[in-house]
Structure formats: C-alpha cells, structure tokens
Structure 1
Amino acid sequence: MLMSALLTLLTGAGLEACQNPQLPVPVPPPPPTTSVTLYSPTSSWNAPVPGSASVDVNSATMLRTVVAAAQAQGFVIAVKEWSRPLHYTDSTTSRHTVSLTAPWAPASTMSGVPIPANAAPDPAGDGHMVVIDRSTGCEYDFWQAVHNADGSWSASWANATSTTGPGWYPHGLSATGSGAAGAAGLIRPEELREGEIKHALFFAYPDTRAGGPVLPATEADGRNTGSGAIPEGARLQIDPGVDLSTLGLNPYEMIIARALQRYGMILGDTGGGVGLVAQNPLSTAVPYPWGEQTYVDLPQSLLAHMRVLTLGRPYDNAGYVEPTGCATLS
C-alpha cells in the first residue's frame, strides 16, 4: 500500500509541475453556469412527490418539533458556513491519495481522488467538500477535509459514489449523518437564476430521532428519543393544496417554496435550527440573488404549511464501504 501511494504521488501532475516549471499546473474546469441533473431520474432526490402520497399518522406531532426548532434557532439556508463547496474536475486533474484520520474509520486512505488546485472545504466545523469528476461521473465527498501545508489532503472521513446512482450510500459511511451523497439536495445558484429547482432539498434540524434511519436514508446520527423526533430519511412537503402566491414570498423564496411543494425536503443531518443547505459560493462564480450573506432567513410560515409524509421502513444495514470504480479505500 505504501509503494502504491508513493507511485501515485510521484506520477501526480502537481509534483511534476513543481519539479519542472516548464509543465503547466492543470487548470480546473469551470463550474457549470446552467443547472445540471445529479443522480438517477428515479432517485428520491429527483422524483416529485406523487399525488397519491400519504401523510404519516404522527405528522402533526413531528411537525411541532420542526416549528419549535425554527422558532428557537431559525429557518435558514446555510450559504457560507455549514454548507458544501461543489468543485468540478475532469480527466486532466491531478489525482491524490487522501489520508482518513477518524479513529472509527474503516479505511486509512482513499486513493485516486481528483482534487483541483483551487479546491477548498467549507470553513465551518464539518469542513464539507464535494468534488465531481465530469469525465467519470464520480463524486467524492469529504467530512472535515484539510489541505495540508505540504500540498497533501486529509479528512476525518471521505467516500465516493456515482452521480448517476440514487444519491445515497447504500450502507452508510457517507460524509453526512444520513448516508446522503454530498451534493444531494443542495440549492445551487444557477437553479435560482433559472427560476426552478428540480429536486428535493436536504435539511437538518436538532431533534433527529435515535435508533436508526428510515429509507431512503441509510445511516443516522440522531439521539432524540422524544415522541416528536423525526428520523433521518423522513420527507416533509408543503401541502400541495396551499396557494403559494398568497404567502407574500419574494422571488427566490417562491422558487424554494415551489421545490418544497413539488419535491419536499429530506431530513439528512442533525444541526442547529432548521436549515437548508446551499452550494458554498467559494466554489462558484454564479451569484446568489440574496447577495453576500452567510445565512439567509426563510419565512417560518412555510413550515406551518408542511406535512410529514408516511415514513419509509427502518433501515439497519449500515456500516461498511460499498466498493466503487471511483476510488480505492484501504
């Protein structure tokens, strides 16, 4: 494994460029300026809530905990902190071996990972970072990523998946609390510019239920045992009978509300308050309509119009790495 890692480093374009200044450092491909579809069309992220969807028998009880959390700590979009940079690469991008440092991690390295020279993780404590390789359709998700002084990369944990799959790690061990892929459910600026978000939104809240997730989630970090606690994997939806035009929403709030009504939001992590997640602007040149804000407040009245859809079945098959052709974990 040591020899393999050494060969990877010695053949990396970045090191060659340092040894030979005649070689140009690869320029990362620009992020898309129009929206792209991530994951399968039938994924729980991309499929609209069917008209026949039923409401969970405990919806009212669970929803009260959401409203209370928002009243206490807000209903926000995380933009510049606790968000996710989304970096793009291609076949010219240098490959790295990433050290995995969490004491519980079932692997110590992830090799063959393309990381552009200008990549940076989110500055908040989770240090999330997502890299999507356009040439292979592979996605690399990082938790507490660190770009070290010697140019190497490490992370508490990282894993890889396909951008044509379901947007969930089948046996957990993701970079999120629920098994969700890192780019799943993100609000992206090009979507707001185009006037439509065509997928469900990822959200976090404080009272995630202890005892495991429900599908489509494949792992959970919940600890709350209260009757109103919501399991990761639950989907909330603005009641389709609500006339959004009567709610006094500004243009970007209306785009988000339409997505919450058509696709809903899926509980993907434990966090403070009730929070949706945007692509961190450090990884895109497309501006957001709200300007330079770290967090964007959303009308809490939207939550009062929501319902919790019938929960999926409990899932307890988490805890091991699903091999992919995207990277080698060892």
Structure 2
Amino acid sequence: MITGTRARSWFVAGGLAPLVIATGAFAAPHEPDTAVEGVFAPDSPFYRPLPDDTPVAADSEALIAGLYQQAIDYFGRPGQPNVTINIDNYTAPLYITSTDDPQQDIRPWNCQDKEEGWDAELAEMWSGQHLPSNLKPDGSSDGNVSIYNADTGTLVELWQARQAPDGVWEACWGGVIEDASVSPGTFAVPYGASAGGMALWAYTIRHDELLEGEINHVIGLTIPEIKKGVISWPATRTDGRVDGTEIAMGQLLRLPADFDLDSLNLSPSARTVAQAAQDYGIVITDTSGAVAFAGEHEFGLVDNRYDEIFRGRYAYEEMAGDPALGEDPFPLQELVALPVDYGKDLPWPPEDAPAAVGGDEAVATLAETNAASPPSDARPNAASPAEAPDAAFPWPPVLIGLLVAAGAVVAGLTLRRRRL
C-alpha cells in the first residue's frame, strides 16, 4: 500500500473554462463534473446528513481504539497514527461518458481461474457500454475504474480492468447499475468493484471537493483489519477476515456533532475530511494495506491540482498536519462507531437533519457539465472523458448576447457550474 503520493496529472476544477469567440469561430471547452450528488436516488444512504443525536455503538470505544492501533501498526508510529488519502494507487479514476462515445463489449477476464460459466451474466451486463477513448484504470493490483454515462444513467465499475493486446477492454470482476438515479448506490450481490459491494462513485472524495473545501456525501475508508462474517448496511458483502472486536464492512463512523472542529488547527485537507466525517460520516469499504480514505485517482483528471491541494506535501503528511505551522493531526481517536446497520430502517429525512441532496435537478446539472477533451498541453496519459452532446449546452442564447459587431472579438466569459 502506498501511504502517500505527490500528484502528477490533470483536472479542471471549478467552473467551465473561458469561452473565447473570435471572428465568427469559437471554442467551447467544458470540464468533467464528477460530483457525487444526484447520480443515485435522492434518499441514497450516501447522501444523508447525520442527525445530531445519532446513536453510538455499544462497543464504539473498543472499535475506535482498534482503528487507532491499526493506524499505528500500518506505517505509523507510537503517538503518530498514519492516515492518508489514496489518489494514485488503490483507488478509482472516475470518468463521465455519453452516448456519443463508441459502444464496446467489455470482456470478462478469468484472472481467478473460476469454473466455466462464471462470466455469463457479466458478459451480458457489460455488452455495449460507452467507454472513453483513453480510459486508464488504477495501475495497482486493484485496477479499479468507475464510469458514469450521464445520458443513460448507467454506472459501470470494474476490478482488475485492462486493455488486452487485441485492444478489447476486459476485467476480472465488477458490475453495472442500469438506472443509478433510482439506486441507493449499491450493486446486486455479488457484483461491484469494491469489496463491500458499494459503488466507488458513491463515497470517493473528489479532487475538486478538496480544492473547494466541501464534501456533501459519506466518505469511504479502507482499513487493514475488517471484522469477519459481519456485513453492515449499506454494504452487501465483505472481505473481512479478522475475528474479534473490529469494525464491520459498511459500518459507519463519525465525528460527534458536538465535537468542536474549530478547537483544532487542521490542514485544509484534514479539515475538509473532518467536516464531512462529522456531517455525513465515514463508511468502511475495503481491506487495505493502510488506513486510507478513497480519493479520486489522478488518472481521471484533466487538470491535476493535488500539489496545490496538499501544499506540495504527501497526502498522509497533510492529514497529520504540518508541525512547522503548529497543525494538529486528523482527529482519528475522536471518531465514534455507529451501530451495525445504522440507518437501514430509519424514516427519511430525519426531522433535525438538513434535506438530503440529489434529485432530477442535480442529475441535469451533472449531465450539462459532461467532460470535454483535455487541454492541448495535458500529458498524453491524462484521462480525456467524452465530449458532451451539443444539446447539453445552451450556447446559441449565450452567443446572441455576446456578439456585438461583425468581426469583434469577445473573450472572457466564464461559466460557473452550480454546486449542490
């Protein structure tokens, strides 16, 4: 497990690139929006703010003590637990496609020597999927990738994905959610790329969320030791293999509502993650080699600003804080564990929580900011999500208001997408 990394690729964060119009010709670059809000059903468990009076598991203290010890045992040291955000290994690149992208059949790859017939259903669900032309999965042994078609609402997630010598994309496992807008964000058992069966798209911390300092969804955490034989909603399966007092797959953690984050001097990234942990919670998603949050993989980015986000440091250093600035580490020991299956049978929304985000308007916003090709100076191996349909952008009304004289050059229009 890589515990930290410096960023190296590209992503466009924030709003649309400036629209430049000159002598009747214009370019209209637009950027990927990998925002999580609105992709799944409005009452998805990944969108639900936690009420102030969220119950705490009876064994919470022991569970959090065990988690803290894992952060010591795996790349940490006594008194200095290691917590990181994976951005270049063991996490998923996120791509947005459209029906303009070529349709391809993803081929099941029997990397685990399963019995004949194991791939029949996968082959059917993976047929005719729209894939970006320069798809690039995570380069680690996980080989994960998450692909959302904003036109059809289809989410495809792959585990150990690769492009075979014959040019066909194949994967060892994964799954498809056909109509994500009515899905809670989980795959039918036993499918999905994450060990817990939860959509990678649902809980991954986005690059631009860290850049802008706001996360409005549950965030995913991978840990080395997960309890064996226990599955907590919204997880649907588990790779937990530890007997004893350990956190279960899918179990939620949070910073208590009355914990004063202002009492700590956290790095910008640690503060953003801590606020999300308090407002929405943390979900256990996979067994890993370190205590690591799932961050958006740099391969799917067009303008990578992770160096800026992490202030030229490694992600684990930012989560630990800069001693030279008197910063505090991410308050791992202040977390509490919620009961197994918390939220499964609760009415929604609770009276004392803000309204959950999502819905048709959010989906429309996502589709309207579907990705364009990267700028010409982007690295050759940077991801290039698909071109959006022209109909997704109301350019004619915009141009009418901007064209003032024949041959005039109008520049500098910048559109800012709505943040939910």
Structure 2 equivalent of residue 81 of structure 1: 89
Conserved 8 A contact 1:185-1:201: yes
Structure 2 equivalent of residue 92 of structure 1: 100
Query: Within 2, Cα distance between the matches of 1:130 and 1:268?
Result: 15
- Which of 187, 190, 195 lines up with 2:208 in the alignment? 190
Structure 1 equivalent of residue 196 of structure 2: 178
Conserved 8 A contact 1:80-1:295: no
Conserved 8 A contact 2:92-2:145: yes
Q: Deviations over 1:262-317 (max 9, x none)?
A: 1110011111221101111121124231167775442355111100011118x9xx
- Which of 161, 166, 172 lines up with 1:150 in the alignment? 166
Structure 2 equivalent of residue 215 of structure 1: 233
The residue identity in structure 2 corresponding to 1:279 is E
Conserved 8 A contact 2:34-2:94: no
TM-score by structure 2 length? 0.64
Structure 1 equivalent of residue 147 of structure 2: 131
Structure 1 equivalent of residue 57 of structure 2: 56
- Which of 327, 331, 336 lines up with 1:302 in the alignment? 331
Structure 2 equivalent of residue 265 of structure 1: 282
Q: Deviations over 1:25-60 (max 9, x none)?
A: xxx984228775432221111101122310000111
Structure 2 equivalent of residue 283 of structure 1: 300
Structure 2 equivalent of residue 120 of structure 1: 136
Describe the SS at the equivalent of 2:277: helix
The residue identity in structure 2 corresponding to 1:222 is G
Structure 1 equivalent of residue 224 of structure 2: 206
The residue identity in structure 1 corresponding to 2:284 is L
Change (3 A) 1:294 1:87: farther
Query: Within 2, Cα distance between the matches of 1:276 and 1:111?
Result: 32
Gaps of 5+ in 2: 1-28, 75-81, 321-328, 345-420
Query: Within 2, Cα distance between the matches of 1:269 and 1:99?
Result: 25
Gaps of 5+ in 1: 1-27, 316-330
Conserved 8 A contact 2:229-2:240: yes
Query: Within 1, Cα distance between the matches of 2:204 and 2:34?
Result: 15
Describe the SS at the equivalent of 2:53: coil
Change (3 A) 1:29 1:89: farther
Q: Give the Å deviation of 1:123.
A: 0.6
Whose radius of gyration is greater, 1 or 2?
A: 2
Describe the SS at the equivalent of 1:183: helix
Structure 1 equivalent of residue 246 of structure 2: 229
Conserved 8 A contact 1:81-1:294: no
Query: Within 2, Cα distance between the matches of 1:57 and 1:256?
Result: 25
Asked whether 1:254 is paired with 2:274, we answer: no
How many percent of aligned residue pairs carry the same amino acid?
A: 27
Structure 2 equivalent of residue 111 of structure 1: 127
Describe the SS at the equivalent of 2:275: helix
Q: Give the Å deviation of 1:99.
A: 1.4
Describe the SS at the equivalent of 1:268: strand
Q: Deviations over 1:161-212 (max 9, x none)?
A: 1432211114232111001012121111122233210001011111111114
Change (3 A) 1:36 1:293: farther
Structure 2 equivalent of residue 39 of structure 1: 40
In the alignment of these two chains, the number of paired residues is 286
Change (3 A) 1:214 1:156: same
Structure 2 equivalent of residue 163 of structure 1: 180
Describe the SS at the equivalent of 1:68: helix
RCO higher in 1 or 2 (8 Å CA, sep ≥ 6)? 2
Structure 2 equivalent of residue 25 of structure 1: none
Q: Give the Å deviation of 1:159.
A: 0.8
Alpha-carbon RMSD across the aligned residues, in angstroms, is 2.2
The residue identity in structure 2 corresponding to 1:81 is N
Q: Give the Å deviation of 1:252.
A: 2.1
Change (3 A) 1:33 1:276: closer
Change (3 A) 1:34 1:223: closer
Query: Within 2, Cα distance between the matches of 1:33 and 1:138?
Result: 14
More moved, 181-190 vs 164-173:
164-173
